[in-house]
Amino acid sequence: MEIYQDKLYALADSIRAREKGDVVYLRGIIEFSNYCRRNCLYCGLRRDNTKLGRYRMSPEEIIKRAKEVAALGIKTVVLQSGEDPYYKLKDLVGIVSRIKELGVYVTLSIGELSTHAYRELKKAGADRYLLRHETANRKLYEVLHPDGSFFNRVRCLYALKDLGYEVGAGNMVGLPGQTDDMLWEDLLFMEKLQPEMVGIGPFIPHPDTPLAKEKGGTLEQTLTMIALTRIILPKANIPATTALGTIHPEGRELGLKVGANVVMPNMTPQPYRPLYQLYPGKICVNEDPDACLPCLKRRIESIGRTII
Ligand code: SAM
Ligand code: SF4
Ligand code: FES
């Protein structure tokens, strides 16, 4: 079995080298609010988690931090949050257009919105949108998302595509009740959608959620899914995710060796960072706000790649 696994990894790595070269793309992520109106069973930000201290950054704070990120030479700013209705569409449009003036790409990851909102944000300058499909198995999706539907998730992904966003889909690996067949469903779903980006990470159980006692996804399973994704979507941008770096000290380097070509340094300012607690043990939360960039640079160079 192991020998086939090695061959799979080597094939994925060679496709990554051919399609993407040896450069690793940086996407600086600012987690600007941990309020969420939804109750996804797996997530520490779910609204019923009353143990979590909540924060939201003001538009001015977000723009100031984006300026600092751009000044560090990072060319993509990712704005991520829970689904927080506090920010009205006009606020978000204002934030995106001000950040675009910095000459960076803007990626949004703020959940399910109306097609109208996605259109206005695109007009304001948003370039990309990350909205993982989480699992392509409708039944499992609906168990995990008591206040969501797979239909609406898929509607959002196709609406974003139609509007001309570069779209990021992706799934968690090792979810309770997820079978190997369901992971094949994820691959088939993505082959059909043809997303420009794919975020794949292990599920990590959070103690203050209904899934506290479940098992998490493994390193091997996650690396296998990254490798298979690289093979079916040779041109996709695939991050070596923070969750992968959380379940193994070299998880991100290993991800980069089996098909991934992107890293997302955490650029959320303090004191907010530890509060964006999707899962326990999240790496980088106690670091100085600018520490992730040199750290990732070192890690990437250690495996013979360079950052851009
Ligand atoms: N609220 C937006 C959404 O759900 O699309 C964006 C932010 S959400 C926190 C970002 C991602 O975190 C989700 O797509 C999910 O895959 C991941 N996530 C949440 N809880 C997790 C957990 N316990 N383990 C691993 N990943 C998790
Ligand atoms: Fe909210 Fe996103 Fe977490 Fe679901 S995954 S509870 S939408 S932050
Ligand atoms: Fe954040 Fe290493 S990447 S401290």
Q: What is the pLDDT of residues 33-82, one digit of tens each?
A: 999 999 999 999 999 999 999 999 999 999 999 999 999 999 999 999 99
Q: Which residues are annotated as a binding site for (3R)-3-methyl-D-ornithine?
A: 109
The b-or-e profile of 247-260 (16+ CB within 10 A means b, else e) is bbeebbbbbbbbbb
Q: What is the pLDDT of residues 180-205, one digit of tens each?
A: 999 999 999 999 999 999 999 999 99
Q: For position 2, what pLDDT does the model report?
A: 75
Q: For position 166, what pLDDT does the model report?
A: 98
- Residue 273: CB partners within 8 Å, gap ≥ 6? 31, 266, 284, 285, 286, 287, 289
Indicate if ligand 3 lies below 6 Å from the C-beta of 29.
no
Q: What is the mean pLDDT of residues 3-12?
A: 95
pLDDT(268) > 80: yes
Q: What is the mean pLDDT of residues 276-290?
A: 96
| pLDDT band, residue 173 (cuts 50/70/90) | very high
Q: Is 302:18 a contact under the CB 8 Å cutoff? A: no
Q: What is the mean pLDDT of residues 281-295?
A: 95
| Alpha helices (H) in the chain, listed in sequence order | 2-20, 59-71, 89-100, 115-123, 138-144, 150-162, 180-193, 219-232, 242-247, 251-257, 292-302
> Which tokens hold the place of 22?
């040896």
pLDDT(143) > 90: yes
Tell me the ligand closest to 216's alpha carbon.
Answer: 1
Indicate if ligand 3 lies below 6 Å from the C-beta of 284.
yes
Q: For position 1, what pLDDT does the model report?
A: 65
User: What's the total number of domains in the chain?
Assistant: 1
Amino acid, single-letter form, for residue 284: C
Read off the CATH number of the domain in which 26 is found: 3.20.20.70
Mean pLDDT over the full length of the chain: 98
Q: Is 205:214 a contact under the CB 8 Å cutoff? A: yes
pLDDT(128) > 70: yes
Rounded Cα–Cα distance for residues 111 and 89 (Å): 13
> Which tokens hold the place of 77?
């700013």
- Percentage with pLDDT > 90 across the chain: 98
Q: For position 192, what pLDDT does the model report?
A: 98
Verify cis geometry, omega within 30 degrees of 0, for the bond prior to 271: yes
- The closest residue, in CA terms, to atom 8 on ligand 2 is 82
Q: What is the pLDDT of residues 234-243, one digit of tens each?
A: 999 999 999 9
| pLDDT band, residue 144 (cuts 50/70/90) | very high
Indicate if ligand 3 lies below 6 Å from the C-beta of 291.
yes
Give the domain extent around 296: 2-307
- Residue 286: CB partners within 8 Å, gap ≥ 6? 273, 274
- Residue 248: CB partners within 8 Å, gap ≥ 6? 219, 254
Residue 211 CA: distances (Å) to CA of 50, 114, 138, 238 = 16, 29, 19, 27
Whole-number Å distance, alpha carbon 282 to ligand 3 midpoint, is: 10
Q: For position 84, what pLDDT does the model report?
A: 98
Residue 26 CA: distances (Å) to CA of 56, 101, 263, 272, 278 = 24, 19, 5, 21, 21
- Percentage with pLDDT > 70 across the chain: 100
Q: Which of 264, 296, 302 to mutate to test the pocket of ligand 3 (most atoms within 8 A of CB)?
A: 296
Query: What pTM did the predictor assign?
Result: 0.98
Query: How many CA atoms lie within 13 Å of 305's alpha carbon, on the beta-carbon side?
Result: 28
Q: What is the pLDDT of residues 74-97, one digit of tens each?
A: 999 999 999 999 999 999 999 999
Q: Which of 34, 35, 37, 38 to mutate to test the pocket of ligand 2 (most atoms within 8 A of CB)?
A: 38
| pLDDT band, residue 308 (cuts 50/70/90) | confident
- Residue 155: CB partners within 8 Å, gap ≥ 6? none
